Amino acid sequence: MFRYILYGAGVIVGLVLIGTIFHWTVNRVYVDNGQSLSLKYKGPIIFGSRTPAKPGQFAVDGEVGMVEQLKGPGRHFYCPIWWERKVIDHTEENMVIMPGEVAVVRSAMGGDLPEGQFVVDGGLGETKHKGILRKVLGPGIYRANPYQYQFTKVKLQSDNRGSETSHSGWVEIPTGYVGVVKNETDNPATGAKKGVQENVLPPGLYFINGKEKQVYIVEIGFRETTIAVEMTEEKDGRLAVDKYGDPLISDPESGINYPSSDGFNIQMDVTAIWGVMPKQAPSLINTFGNIAAAEEKVIYPQMESICRNTGSKKSAEELLVGEDRQEFQNQISDELRAVLEGREAVPEKGVKGESGYEEAKPAIEDKNITLLYGLVKAIYIPKVVRDPIQKGYIADEVKLTRDVEKTTEKQRALLEEAKKVVEREAAKIRVETVKLVAEQLALGKKEVAEIKATQAKLVAAIDKETATVETEAKVMLGEAQASAVQMEREAKADLFRLAVESFGSGEAYNLWWFAEQMPSDTKLQFLYAGEGTLWTDLSKQGITPTVPLRNPPKSK
């Protein structure tokens, strides 16, 4: 019987040992750092029913299918008979995002989005639909189920769309630039619609999901656009001139050229200082695509058109003379500003602008470009036209100069006379000043003497009051000291009186006082002695009397 018990115990121990070995070898799965364990439930082998998970969903509550939750680093025990096990290396699944990279994530699990939508809201583990996650992931290590999420790592991506260049991924907007955002789809969370957004991104570093939006980097500030006449240069680099000393124009069609109102060919150099402000950038991208397109489609054509239309209404003389030329300059600047900033070039009568030229009415279309200056740098008028006009004005200037010189001489004589009057008055003032100084010095000395006398009188009065106070203080001090001595003596006498009364008699008080004065180590001894035997008894006790005896006892 005992043998069968041992056999049974051995079988049980063997089964336990086999189960333990099977559990720690076959069932065991080790997950290292940077890895995760993905599980898929196969369902029961013999007993039970196999219920598959819903399409597009993870398995829950015993369903057959992929389990959503991943297992982290460490030892895990799952039998391969019921579980499909897979160790996931996150580096191989692009789940390690390095600096300078972002990850665009696509969700393969969940319900279908409405028609026309493809962007999913929520982060990892929070999504409910299939599609591209709106949020991109920055640098870091992520643990996600690759059965649900697929990572695509990107750096800076550029998409050339004709004349437009958009960016996504790891987008850096440098200083002096802004980012214009163009949504590829609506954003129900923020209410943003598809298309170019009004708000721009300031300089900085951004993670942009290229499937959701694109960013156009626009330089902010002013720039120069010049249309200039081409000149002939000598070998040494200097400009070649004709016999009149005017620069030789190599291309008669260069710059801005047009006929004046009196039929002369005019060429001119024009410069526009223009730019785009942050609030204008979205409109520029939406209208033109980029800065270069705006310059090509708006700045150059408008400069040429305005200068030709306005200049052809002026005569050569009006373009040459100072006041008329300044008016022409102001008109060019105002009309160019009106077009670029979205106003019609038709002035409203009676309203003056900053330059003195009449303001323009609001335009139908706003180009959203800021003009700082529109400058007419040079106007080239033929010499044969310019000479007679200049000579006439020079003669007028010479006559005006002569008139001014005569007036100057008269003013010079008046100046000399005024100088003499000033010198005379200055001498008079100097004498009066010396007199006033002497009077002020004498008055000052008198006031000083009076102040000193008053001061001495006040000091004497104060000294007298001080002596009186000191005398009174000494008297009061003496009285106080005498009173203190008297009170002290009275207090001592009263103390003795109270002590005598407390002991009942003066003799008792004296005995107490005598006892208090005796040393604390004094020894008292009482001896009984008969009549005439005191000294004998003292000798027996070994006490020598301190008072000498008249007849000391004789020793036997």
Please check whether residue 42 is in contact with residue 83, taking contact to mean a CB–CB distance below 8 angstroms.
Answer: yes
User: Quick check: 500 and 506 in contact, CB under 8 A?
Assistant: yes
Pairing of strands 358-362, 343-352: antiparallel
Nearest residue to 210 (alpha-carbon basis) of 163, 172, 166: 166
* 196 bridge partner residues: 182
Contact predicate 360/346, CB 8 Å: yes
Residue 336: Cβ within 10 Å count: 25
* Residue 405 one-letter amino acid: E
Per-residue pLDDT tens digits of the chain, which is 556 residues long: 677 787 788 888 888 888 888 888 888 899 888 888 888 888 887 776 778 888 878 888 778 888 888 888 899 998 888 888 988 887 777 788 888 888 888 898 888 888 777 888 888 888 888 888 888 888 888 888 888 888 888 887 666 665 568 888 888 898 999 999 998 888 877 788 888 888 999 999 888 888 888 899 999 899 899 998 888 887 777 877 766 667 787 787 888 888 888 888 888 899 999 999 999 889 888 888 888 888 898 889 988 988 888 888 888 777 777 677 888 888 888 888 888 876 544 444 444 444 443 444 433 345 678 888 888 888 887 776 666 666 666 666 767 787 888 888 888 888 888 888 888 888 888 888 888 888 888 888 888 888 988 988 888 888 888 888 888 888 888 888 888 888 888 888 887 778 778 877 778 878 777 777 777 777 766 666 666 666 676 666 666 666 555 555 554 4
What is the 3-class SS of 293-316, one letter each residue?
A: HHHHHHHHHHHHHHHHHHHCCCCH
176: alpha, beta or left? (left if phi > 0; alpha if psi -120 to 50) = left
Residue type, 353: G
* Dihedral Cα 21, 26, 32, 38, nearest 10 deg: -140
Q: Give the single-character DSSP code of 218.
A: E
Distance CA 316, CA 23 (A): 105
3-state SS class at 184: coil
CA dist., res. 240 & res. 221, Å (int): 36
Minimal CA–CA distance to 286: which of 183, 409, 388?
183
Closest among 213, 120, 136 to 168, alpha carbons compared: 213
